[in-house]
Amino acid sequence: AQKVTQAQTEISVVEKEDVTLDCVYETRDTTYYLFWYKQPPSGELVFLIRRNSFDEQNEISGRYSWNFQKSTSSFNFTITASQVVDSAVYFCALSELAPDSWGKLQFGAGTQVVVTP
Which residues lie near other proteins (CB under 8 A)? 4, 33, 35, 37, 42-47, 50, 91, 93, 95, 97-110
- For other proteins, the closer of residues 41 and 117 by Cβ is 41
Least distance to other proteins from the beta carbon of 15, Å? 26
- For other proteins, the closer of residues 62 and 99 by Cβ is 99
Q: Tell me the CA distances in angstroms from 97 to 27, 31, 33, 85, 101, one per residue in order.
A: 12, 6, 7, 33, 7
Tell me phi and psi for residue 113, to 5 degrees.
-105, 125
Least distance to other proteins from the beta carbon of 72, Å? 21
Least distance to other proteins from the beta carbon of 50, Å? 6
Least distance to other proteins from the beta carbon of 30, Å? 15
- For other proteins, the closer of residues 15 and 64 by Cβ is 64
Q: How far apart are CA 83 and CA 18, in angstroms?
A: 10
Please classify residue 114 by burial: count the beta carbons closer than 10 Å to its beta carbon, then call 0-12 exposed, 13-18 middle and 19+ buried: middle
- For other proteins, the closer of residues 82 and 106 by Cβ is 106
Q: Tell me the CA distances in angstroms from 21 to 30, 31, 37, 103, one per residue in order.
A: 24, 23, 12, 24
